[in-house]
Amino acid sequence: MTDLAALRTLPANRRREAGKDLRDAAPRSGNAALPALQGRGDPIALLLATSAQRIQSLLPVRWARMVASPFTFLRGAAAVMVRDLAALPASGIRVQASGDCHLMNFGVYASPEGRPVFDLNDFDETLSAPFEWDVKRLAASLVLAALDSGHAPAAAKDMARAAVTAYRLRMAELADLDPLTAWSSRVDITAMAQGISDLAVREKEMALLAKAAATPSAGDDFPRLADHDGREARIRDAPPLIYHFDEETDRQGQAALRARALFTRYRDTLPEERRFLIDRYQLADVAFKVVGVGSVGTFCAIGLFIDPDGHPLFLQVKEAMASALAPYAGASPYANQGQRVVVGQRVLQTVSDGFLGWAADEAGRYFYIRQLKDRRMASASTLMESDRLDFYATLCGTTLARAHARSGDAALISGYLGTSGTFDDAVADFAAGYAEISARDHGLLKQAIADGQLAVADLPCKAKGKAKKAD
């Protein structure tokens, strides 16, 4: 592992040279290497082992979402991919990694000022780890998503390469900036969208951005997610994905009380000025919410808070287990896994949620709390319907570089990456090859379901779509 603390005392040009020197032990072309299939282990067995602490009654939803396509399989199989990545060579350069860096974990949301912000938006697996792990997972996800939407293999590989090239170029730019400027830099998605050469695509992108930032109020979800009869507000049930705790869904009888207690305890982890704000609201209702693909089976609830004048605030409490990266990258320095997620998000995002906090229940399980938002731009399903996916790939690569530079050494990483396309080509080759491995693993999941080893839920089509983002 590279001694980052010692390198920080050196000027940028020396750190670039140190990064370049790392190529001797970890050649950039070596990033094309794939995990050996012989002796790799059964991916389905690993998924079952890492699901042991999840809510077992929800696992059929997890398998139903993962089996939809090789792309959705990859989304739910972070534990499988990190095991594979850990067996491959790496430069030794560490950053605060996303840990689950696929294209659906990026998106646009409105900043408090109403400006569209493009950034990472999922941090359940965040941990200090080799920077290549995030880059390779992003690249593989782009290949699978492109193939899933009908692009040719060569075009899919080109999209992965575009993301890696954008990462390398942006990292080089960040390496030339002073620390304060680099830390506060943002991805100007509006400027990038204006640079799209296809006029029709550019106009569609700009319209989506305008919609994403049009009404940044925290109450935007209120009409969709809740009912209000003039006397009390209540979250609207939408089974099997949103429902209230009752004797059937809460066999242990304490889930609603747990959620309410967590919302209360979490207040103390907020900055003091935020406590003044949260205290203006009272918790009116809580309900369970099934989320994502990889997160299905973890405890997740949404709370509807109301102020005396009826203004709503939605918060989400979500269970935080140990990162899938931990067995290979090392344990988190935080005993509370919710704190790990919150700190990781604050490091990686330029504009983070002001309501981020964490809590633990009496059983020693850990959780993080955030504002429930529905302010993100188009889902990737829209982006994949046209040639806009290559634009999205560039956005993701650029954004990931900015996120990594906040905790890592941009000059060191840039020195390792260099100015040629050697690293880009190698990761694109890896992504294309790993897409085939994921397709093979997806086939094993389908077989396990067909054999009756795994049960699957009957979900509405919109809940198990190719690229559905359900958080």
What pLDDT is stored for residue 279 in this prediction? 95
Where residue 460 falls (left for φ over 0; alpha for ψ -120 to 50; beta otherwise) is beta
Q: Is the pLDDT of residue 53 over 50?
A: yes
Distance from C-alpha of 196 to C-alpha of 392, rounded to nearest angstrom: 11
Q: What is the pLDDT of residues 149-198, one digit of tens each?
A: 899 999 999 999 999 999 999 999 999 999 999 999 888 777 777 777 77
Identify the pLDDT of residue 393. Answer: 92
Position 435, amino acid: A
- 27-41, 186-200, 378-392, 411-425: range with lowest mean pLDDT: 378-392
* Percent above pLDDT 70 for the chain: 86
Residue 280 has pLDDT above 80, yes or no: yes
| Region of residue 253 (phi > 0: left; psi between -120 and 50: alpha; otherwise: beta) | left
Global pTM reads 0.90
State both tokens at 237.
């049930």
Among 17-26, 215-224, 286-295, name the most confident range: 17-26
Q: What are the structure tokens assigned to 419, written together?
A: 């100015």
Q: Which amino acid is at 98?
A: S
Confidence of residue 467 (pLDDT cuts 50, 70, 90): very low
State phi, psi for 448 to the nearest 5 degrees: -65, -35
Give the pLDDT of residue 116: 73
Q: What is the DSSP letter of 87?
A: T
* 367: its two tokens: 């959780």
Q: What is the pLDDT of residues 442-464, one digit of tens each?
A: 999 999 999 999 999 886 655 55
Q: Which of 379, 380, 396, 353 is nearest to 134 (CA)?
A: 396
Alpha-carbon Rg for the chain in angstroms: 22
Helix/strand/coil for 33: coil
Backbone dihedral angles phi then psi of residue 317, each to the nearest 5 degrees: -110, 130
**Per-residue pLDDT at 378 exceeds 50:** no
